Amino acid sequence: MIDYRQLAVVWYPGCFGRFILTTLQLQKNNLDYDVNDASSHDIILHNNNIKQIHGRNPTEEETKIYKNIFPYFPNQYRFLSKIFHYLKFFKDLPTGNNLKKFDIKDFFYKCDNKKEFFYKTIVTHIWLYKVNVPINVNTLDMTELFENTIKFKANLENIIQEKLLRRTEEFIERKKELNLPQFKKYVGLFKIKENILQVKDQQLAQYEDYFKCLLLADIIDYKQELYDKFLNNYKGQELVTTNDIRKIFI
């Protein structure tokens, strides 16, 4: 069993750091807390038993003092953190009408077409985003919360060196249940990428513009040539099917 005062949770926005903190608090203190609510941002954390390192990597000194837990989404799922961050704090995803309330800069000085401005702003904001895992941390792959919960819980137990309480497990399962629809929607979108590469046409009507921007950024895949093609070929046209996206990169 580990001394919880030696634990630190290191996380970036949208990576479920508060969820891990709450899980650890429930495990350690056996709190009288409604796990069906599963709102880890509302719970009062007790006495700062666990070090919180948010929005930055741990210092060299902190890696020596603490056993650092790093919840994250691996690069394949890197944009999930954007979705969960925006939905938690803004209760919404960016659209052409609400950009000002998000932490997104206006990268394009002028676009006559409002949709062109939105797409180019969002894609420019995210296309180079990459997940960098700090050194000397204990990683928790948050995709496993949704895809292999047994493994996720086993990894957490291994880190804290004790078996999860029933109440803690119930909280984890409820948190998974509440966030699973967005996870499935995201994963479904990126399976569409395979159809684009295989020249299969597929409807995109069920996806908001923001999700389509994520798909474009993923197709660009850090390649300057593809980013330039996107800037040159996208003029605000509706992206109704995968063929519409394919044409941008021809």
**Torsion of the alpha carbons at 43, 19, 177 and 98, rounded to the nearest 10:** 90
Distance CA(155)–CA(138), nearest Å, equals 9
Point out which residues pair with 7 in neighbouring strands: 67
Residue 207 has pLDDT above 60, yes or no: yes
Strand pairing of 51-54 and 7-11? parallel
Contact 15, 168 (CB under 8 A): no
For tokens 């989404």, what's the residue? 73
DSSP string, the chain: ---GGGEEEEE-TTS-HHHHHHHHHHHHH-----TTT--TTTSPPPTT-SEEEESSPPPHHHHHHSEEEEEE--GGGTTHHHHHHHHHHTSS---TTTGGGSS-----S--SSHHHHHHHHHHHHHTT----PPSS-EEEETHHHHH-HHHHHHHHHHHHTSPPPHHHHHHHHHHHHHHHHHHHHHHHHHHHHHHHHTT---B-TTS-HHHHHHHHHHHHTT-HHHHHHHHHH-SS----BHHHHHHHT-
Strand pairing of 67-72 and 7-11? parallel
Section 230-236 average pLDDT: 95
Contact 50, 8 (CB under 8 A): yes
Contact 88, 157 (CB under 8 A): no
Q: How far is CA 192 from the centre of its chain?
A: 19
Model confidence, pTM: 0.89
CB-based burial label for 232 (10 Å; 0-12, 13-18, 19+) = exposed
Point out which residues pair with 72 in neighbouring strands: 141
- Residue, of 33 and 229, whose pLDDT is higher: 229
Section 2-27 average pLDDT: 90
Section 42-66 average pLDDT: 81
Q: How far is CA 38 from the centre of its chain?
A: 18
pLDDT at 32: 62
Residue 131 has pLDDT above 60, yes or no: yes
pLDDT at 201: 81
pLDDT at 45: 53
Residue 104 has pLDDT above 90, yes or no: no
Section 160-188 average pLDDT: 94
Tally Cβ neighbours within 10 Å of residue 66. 20
